[in-house]
Structure 1
Amino acid sequence: MLVRSKPDFRNTAMPPRRMASRLASDFTRPRRLRIGAAGCARGAAGAPLRLTILSGIVSLSPATVRRGRVALPAAARALIWSSRMSMTANYSPEDLARMVEPARVHRRIYTDPEIFELEMSRIFGTAWVYVGHESQIKKPGDYFTARVARKPLVIVRAKDGSIQALHNQCAHRGAMVVANDTGCTDEFQCCYHGWTYHLDGRLKAVPLNNGYPEDFDTKNPKTAMVRVPRVQSYRGFIFLSLASEGQSFEDFLGYMKTSLDDMVDRAPDGELEIAGGVFKHTYDGNWKLYLENLCDAAHPWYTHRSSIAAAQQQKDDVFSDGTGEIAIRQMRQNGAPYSFWENQVGIWTYANGHSYLGDYHDDSKLVAALNDPTFREYHSAMETKKGKAETQRIMEVRRWNSNFYPNMSMMSQFQQLRVIHPISVNKTVVHTYCFKLKGAPDQMFRNTVSFANVVNGTGSLVLTDDLEIYNRIALGLSSEGAEWLEIGRGFTSDEPDPHGGRKGKNSTSEVYIRNMFDAWRGYMFGDSGSGAKKQVA
């Protein structure tokens, strides 16, 4: 249950019953509060009123309760009504801490709606979250809409060239202002009463302006579309934080910014462009499952067995357009023996929950090699623009999925990017985008789209396997089976990474899941500046 408003008790002494009612009215889902004020409620004298809050306890003296008045000190008011404070009737900090152990987690983390609400507030409401790419807003007036912590936002290129992120809400009656996914405009206008806003969110015009009170002022910041406090871009990738204070963007990225570098560096002209639309899919399962699966090197041989068997039965020359060939070779590679998965792939983790899986394709037709005509043309363009030494350095970086906790994963080999949108504790939407490498042959992008169809399209024989697993996990966790889920594979053998992270000695180590839960604990306990960066040795 999250506190949504901030009543002002600075000069108020309120009867305990009324205060309890006021507190309950500010919850999205009013439920039993941990109020030990039985004496106040039932007339027994001497019982203290205790409000148990996620990060502390306010205790009122028996004398105060007997007098029937409650005057909260400033520190207590700040504690209760801080806009970043979450309150729960069921979980203390100790309860949450006990749900994550070094090698296992409690199943409630994936199934409890109340924990999900806390995640929306404390993780998605404070962390740096990926929202889009600068190629989507090339010129002033270009915009796209997004959701962070389920809150609707508008990302726009302002007239001065800056990137603005606005809460997608009219200051008049609260209607969502922008309904389109993308577009270009000179202004934003609410379709309810016509309030019109500048691209930076300032109120521009109000119809029937003379009907408002004399002190109504369109220049008052309270009449604007509210700006998101922190927006940053790194090499075209746009991130934002809904929190006005917290961990710096540079610290959040850390060493993982090299995965963003890897994607951009592969463009001969040094620029990327989102193109080809977007794949959208939904699954009935918790949002954390998606990121956990993307670096899971132990699941393909079993989860994708049907497509592996079908691909192994096909001849190499069945398709001549290249699309079918990419599909068959991708599905075949999923069937590599476990000796390959364990010893030749690699898994690396870094602060704040980030990780990447090493490349697991050694097929020259899938990850292009010099004997491929398209790749030869691409390689030549790279050497012309960047030189032989730099081109060789870039090509030697072999990463598959790079996960940016909590909501994005990218793949530089085939220029894919996936964004996770949690809807509820058991419902998640994922958007997949493809990038063009500026200066690369057009066939490179066609291969990118072909690969996206194989792996992320709605008719994919690979994605549908994974979605089925997520659904089965959700169903399995609803039973009365094991309360604890094991994430301890590789726990005793993981090794330090020279860049400050940890890597699995074997590629099938679950070190990346443990790393994400290190970040989970840091955010959930309100310590995104330090706790989220700690890693269990």
Structure 2
Amino acid sequence: MAHLIRRGSPMTRHQKHGYTNLVQRGRIHRSAYTDPDVFAVEMIRVFGGTWTYLGHESELPEPYDFKLTNLGLRPVILTRDGDGTIHGLFNRCSHRGVTVCPETSGNARRFVCSYHGWTYLSDGRLAAVPFASSCGPEFDQTELGLGRVSRIDTHRGFIFGVLAPEAPSLHDYLGPVAERIDEWVDRSPAGELVVRHRVRKIAADANWKLYVDGAADGIHPLFVHRSYLTMGAERDGEGLFLSEFASGLEESGMYSQTLPHGHQFLDQRPSLLPSKWAATRAMPGTEAAVEQLTARHGERVDEILEQTTVAGMNIFVFPNLSLVDNSIGVVQPRAVDRTEVHWHITSLADLDPVAVSLRMRIGEDFPNFGDTDDVEQWERAQRGLRDVPEVQWLRTTRGLGLDPEADDRGVSTVPITSEAPMRSYHTEWQRLMGLEPNWLGQD
């Protein structure tokens, strides 16, 4: 559908001002969600200008393991070479642009282009070119390896990549959110996560930022997930997971935080008392699993059960990493109005296999109901934004002028009814959209 553009509106001004005028105090322009030109720019400047999650080290346990991932729309082969070094290689032959790796994951020492047979090593170097003598005297094989994500770094097993040479270190980029990631990982007895289960994908005809808008939104569960809350109360009684959103929201003790660089945090743990396990709904096999774990571990069973159930933390690392309960969610934009979210239920290293199985079952509970609720709302929002050009702005004013200032680390703790986390990430998006992508055209 063609956009209706009014003279002098932000739709006509944003190209001149580098798109940064799309975010203003307490509001964001609809074109940030609906304009294909804005989408094309953010795929370069946001997913390229800042550290983006690519995968987890446990997905590449052995030398020469690989998996396919994305940096925005760029197809990337995430590899571990023979020395154990991790690389992010663009899945694009340096000769004619054909993708060189069709498999989603596996183990391979070489990647061979199906078009003309150019062969690349797991670190991206060009190893062989058929009929190389016909390429002429100016041909330099050493300069024609696969393009690569120029900077790769990790934190607690999470692999990130960035293209912008001026981007801060990963340590500085994460800042205080790293402590929240640490809390999430340290539920493991060994302090390590394992991500080796099949991915669960959801897809929505909606812009990727509609997911991010809800990452720390504490009001929407009461309305969007009402059927899940009602069903749970009728089947299992009151006081279980998410029921805290149905009553006494402002007295629950839950809170949100805005963090530097657009990161967000919502803490449900104050409402999950006396324990997270006590707030967990029974899943098929729960009773038998608890009996086995009690027989094996005796008094330690309560500690182990706490490790199987929900974390009670929603952590969002801008622009694409979501840590919710026991799962890693990866936001994958596909088009201005098409988004996938890839969910990986995690295991904990050194956790009893019975507890791991129970953790998997618990991890399937809410998504089977809540994901469809969320997708419906994202798609309704996308249709409204697309089809009503006369209303130009979305409001983000809850808490504006009421929330406390950030502390000296850039952290502001706010009620979960506030839209401060949304405004915070919009400001980071605005900053990145003003970047000049000086990493382009570097052959």
Of 261-270 and 447-456, more deviation after overlay is shown by: 447-456
Within the candidate set 92, 106, 125, 1:183 is matched to 106
For residues 30 and 400 of structure 2, what CA distance do their matches in structure 1 show?
Answer: 19
> Which secondary structure state, in structure 2, belongs to the residue aligned with residue 495 of structure 1?
coil
How many residues matched? 413
Cα distance change of structure 1 residues 300 and 402 upon mapping to structure 2, 3 Å threshold? same
> Which secondary structure state, in structure 1, belongs to the residue aligned with residue 109 of structure 2?
coil
Of 439-448 and 510-519, more deviation after overlay is shown by: 439-448
For residues 275 and 251 of structure 2, what CA distance do their matches in structure 1 show?
Answer: 23
Who is 1:274 aligned against?
A: 195
Cα distance change of structure 1 residues 520 and 293 upon mapping to structure 2, 3 Å threshold? same
> Which secondary structure state, in structure 1, belongs to the residue aligned with residue 115 of structure 2?
coil
For residues 12 and 414 of structure 2, what CA distance do their matches in structure 1 show?
Answer: 42
Decide whether the 8 Å contact of 1:495 with 1:502 is kept in 2.
no
Cα distance change of structure 1 residues 154 and 253 upon mapping to structure 2, 3 Å threshold? same
Query: Sequence identity of aligned pairs in percent?
Result: 32
Who is 1:464 aligned against?
A: 372
For residues 444 and 185 of structure 1, what CA distance do their matches in structure 2 show?
Answer: 33
Cα distance change of structure 1 residues 364 and 461 upon mapping to structure 2, 3 Å threshold? farther
Who is 1:517 aligned against?
A: 426
Decide whether the 8 Å contact of 1:268 with 1:437 is kept in 2.
yes
Q: What residue identity is the alignment partner of 1:300? A: P
Within the candidate set 427, 445, 453, 2:364 is matched to 453
Superposition TM-score, scaled by structure 1 size: 0.70
Decide whether the 8 Å contact of 2:18 with 2:434 is kept in 1.
no
Deviation at 1:181, TM superposition (A): 0.9
Q: Which runs of 5+ in 2 are unaligned?
A: 1-10, 281-289, 438-443
For residues 379 and 195 of structure 1, what CA distance do their matches in structure 2 show?
Answer: 60
Decide whether the 8 Å contact of 2:20 with 2:431 is kept in 1.
no
Of 140-149 and 300-309, more deviation after overlay is shown by: 300-309
Who is 1:51 aligned against?
A: none
Deviation at 1:278, TM superposition (A): 0.6
Is 1:308–2:229 an aligned residue pair? yes
Who is 2:6 aligned against?
A: none
Deviation at 1:180, TM superposition (A): 0.8
Is 1:204–2:127 an aligned residue pair? yes
For residues 137 and 435 of structure 2, what CA distance do their matches in structure 1 show?
Answer: 43
**Larger RCO of the pair (alpha carbons < 8 Å, separation 6+):** 2
Who is 1:405 aligned against?
A: 318
Who is 2:410 aligned against?
A: 501
For residues 294 and 239 of structure 1, what CA distance do their matches in structure 2 show?
Answer: 20
Cα distance change of structure 1 residues 211 and 132 upon mapping to structure 2, 3 Å threshold? same
Q: Deviations over 1:352-404 (max 9, x none)?
A: 0001001155266754689x7759949949999xxxxxxx9x99x97511000
Q: What residue identity is the alignment partner of 1:490? A: G
Decide whether the 8 Å contact of 2:20 with 2:433 is kept in 1.
no
Deviation at 1:483, TM superposition (A): 1.8
For residues 446 and 366 of structure 1, what CA distance do their matches in structure 2 show?
Answer: 18
Decide whether the 8 Å contact of 2:55 with 2:160 is kept in 1.
yes
Cα distance change of structure 1 residues 382 and 262 upon mapping to structure 2, 3 Å threshold? farther
Q: Deviations over 1:276-335 (max 9, x none)?
A: 21101110111111121121110111111222222222246xxxxxxxx9xx944x6265
Who is 2:38 aligned against?
A: 115
1:360-439 aligned at under 5 Å gives the runs 361-362=271-272, 366-367=276-277, 374=293, 377=297, 380=300, 400-411=313-324, 414-439=325-350
Higher-Rg member (1/2): 1
Deviation at 1:142, TM superposition (A): 0.3
Who is 2:397 aligned against?
A: 488
> Which secondary structure state, in structure 2, belongs to the residue aligned with residue 421 of structure 1?
strand
Deviation at 1:417, TM superposition (A): 0.7
Cα distance change of structure 1 residues 269 and 378 upon mapping to structure 2, 3 Å threshold? farther
For residues 326 and 415 of structure 2, what CA distance do their matches in structure 1 show?
Answer: 26
Within the candidate set 475, 492, 505, 2:383 is matched to 475
Of 372-381 and 422-431, more deviation after overlay is shown by: 372-381
Who is 1:336 aligned against?
A: 246
Superposition TM-score, scaled by structure 2 size: 0.85
Decide whether the 8 Å contact of 1:129 with 1:407 is kept in 2.
yes
Who is 1:44 aligned against?
A: none
Q: Deviations over 1:241-292 (max 9, x none)?
A: 0223322212210111112211222211222110321101110111111121
> Which secondary structure state, in structure 2, belongs to the residue aligned with residue 277 of structure 1?
coil
For residues 379 and 216 of structure 1, what CA distance do their matches in structure 2 show?
Answer: 69
Q: What residue identity is the alignment partner of 1:400? A: M
Q: RMSD between aligned alpha carbons? A: 3.2
